[in-house]
Structure 1
Amino acid sequence: MHEPVRVIGGRRFDFDRQVAVMAVVNRTPDSFYDKGATFALDKAVAAVARAVDEGADWVDIGGVKFSPDDGEVPADVELDRVLPVVRAAVEKEAVVSVDTFRVEVAEAALDAGAHIVNDTTGLHDPALADLVAARPGTQLIITHSLAAPRTPYPRPSYVDIAGEIAAFLREKVDLALGRGVRPYQIIIDPGHDLNKNTLHTLELTRRLGEIAAVGYPMLAAVSNKDFVGETLDRPPGERLAGSLAAAVVSILHGARIVRMHNVRESVDAVRMTEAIMGWRSPVYTKHNM
């Protein structure tokens, strides 16, 4: 893995032996998971505080859904949604990422103290790479997705999904490096469910090792997604157990960041997995000692 030990937002991460829990705070009126429960500013700020208190390693803040079903959301509206929450997260001394595909939103969020640009559109706008290259202390998450931002992509088809995702990510990493982004700034994400059906996402999850071989810390955004719901026949509010199982399997296959809604439960699952892998010591030992 390129540069597994990184300092992000003042915190040291060793992705050879450590998994970061990324909490999700969506300031959107109709998020697929919480249906707008954190859309109000006070609710979003409270969610940030709760995530930090429950042990999240960093907080991912978004103001626009990936899907286009809520119509056009102008950049100024997205900024109004995310910037106050970014500032609140910075005040909590959290590591902060902003989920956006717009350069102007990413730049304003970084100016407000965010540390990571989480682009779920696969560098559709390469200027995001230029922005990160100009700021050596920041990170860039490059995600596999095929469509233009907020554009439908019906009935996706793959011949070799893990191979195609890995090739896409290598191409986009090369693009970023060619524009001055340093290897220690890059994180990759295979894009669970993004322009993929449930069978695709199940297969890419069991083949994550092939994608991790691209050689950068890998994020798995599995929480409460449709592939969990369709596999188990569970609505969004009842997908916790399936999401935790998907997160643990992802870690065992190379993921080093997991993006999760239910922070306390996710932190416990991740820390237990780290301990079983021999990466973390128990908090205490009394049993049969």
Structure 2
Amino acid sequence: MTINCAGTLFSFKEPKVMGIVNLTPDSFYDGGKFNSELSVLKYVENLLNEGSDFIDIGGCSTRPGSKYPTVEEEIKRVIKPIRSIIKKFPNVRISIDTFRSEIARIAVEEGAIMINDISGGMLDPKMFSLLSKLKIPYILNHMKGTPENMQKNPYYYNIIIEINNFFAKKIFLLKKYGINDIILDPGFGFGKTEKHNFQLLKNLSLLGFEDHLILIGISRKSMIHNILNISSKESMNATSIIHTLALLKKIKLLRVHDVKEAIECIKLVQYYRKIF
């Protein structure tokens, strides 16, 4: 399976890793981590050296209960770093993590090659029409509600059926706009209880459709550390366990804070599959 990244076909024969760069003061794990251009560049260099295939840059926290920054503030947070990263690492593949079409448009003009939209086009009606012009890969995330209210008693009659119905409707619409490189993200933690998240994990092989890649983003999330009664900073080992379970379900893209450890999970699962 491949996607078109800036005119080059990128293969997902083996699982890939997307390294997270949160340029926000309030993200649940690494908010406020970067206070200079140099610190961002050093962090991205480390992610790339560890083997990250994509760098996902975001300037708007979407943790439960979070408030949105203004468009101007989000632009200020992400555009200059994208420019600096591409200048220093010209072959980098940048994904822009935003639900705002204006931010996405500017980021792509600066060199981003993918849009990661946590809202699945629901928070900005202009997103899909922008995609029809850009013709770049799109990460379609499932979210019930908004970041402000998504964790207030979320309910599903059948979470797998509901998410697949959501994907089917959105894929149909995206294809009408001429978008074919669609990556599906079931949205762990986006309007889901811990039980919902583990139902998703158990049934990952039932999600999506054979024509589309599936990404998961569970790195250091509350579905892990709340159960273990530890902090997000202490949850790297547990994250690796969940990543391994997901890879055994043939997930092809991991969105992570810890690239080296994610790649170790991939290598072990690939070896396991090779010999059995």
How many residues are aligned here? 271
User: Post-superposition shift, 1:271?
Assistant: 2.5
1:135 is matched with which residue?
A: 134
Percent identity at matched positions?
A: 27
2:142 is matched with which residue?
A: 144
Moved more, 86-95 or 22-31: 86-95
Q: Distance in 1 between matches of 2:156 and 2:178?
A: 31
Question: If the length of structure 2 is used for normalisation, what is the TM-score?
Answer: 0.92
Is residue 2:59 matched to residue 1:63?
yes
1:107 is matched with which residue?
A: 105
Q: Distance in 2 between matches of 1:32 and 1:58?
A: 21
1:1-289 paired onto structure 2 within 5 Å:
4-9=1-6, 12-15=9-12, 17-67=13-63, 69-91=65-87, 92=89, 93-124=91-122, 125-136=124-135, 138-148=136-146, 150-153=147-150, 154-181=152-179, 183=180, 185-213=181-209, 215-278=211-274
Alignment-mate amino acid for residue 200 of structure 1? H
User: Which secondary structure state, in structure 1, belongs to the residue aligned with residue 38 of structure 2?
Assistant: helix
- Write out per-residue CA displacement over residues 175-199 of structure 1, whole angstroms, 9 at most, x where no aligned residue: 2112221x2x111100001111111
User: Post-superposition shift, 1:7?
Assistant: 3.7
Change (3 A) 1:90 1:271: farther
- Write out per-residue CA displacement over residues 71-107 of structure 1, whole angstroms, 9 at most, x where no aligned residue: 3410111011111222233231211101000000000
Unaligned runs of 5+ in 1: 280-289
User: Which secondary structure state, in structure 2, belongs to the residue aligned with residue 134 of structure 1?
Assistant: helix
User: Post-superposition shift, 1:70?
Assistant: 5.0
Alignment-mate amino acid for residue 62 of structure 2? F
Change (3 A) 1:96 1:263: same
User: Post-superposition shift, 1:214?
Assistant: 5.9
User: Which secondary structure state, in structure 2, belongs to the residue aligned with residue 172 of structure 1?
Assistant: helix
> Are the aligned partners of 1:126 and 1:176 in contact in 2 as well (CA < 8 Å)?
no
Alignment RMSD? 1.9
Change (3 A) 1:200 1:178: same
User: Post-superposition shift, 1:276?
Assistant: 2.6
User: Post-superposition shift, 1:244?
Assistant: 1.0
Alignment-mate amino acid for residue 66 of structure 1? T
Alignment-mate amino acid for residue 193 of structure 1? G
Runs of 4+ residues over 6 Å off in structure 1: none
User: Post-superposition shift, 1:58?
Assistant: 0.7
User: Post-superposition shift, 1:133?
Assistant: 1.9
Alignment-mate amino acid for residue 109 of structure 1? A
Q: Distance in 2 between matches of 1:48 and 1:88?
A: 11
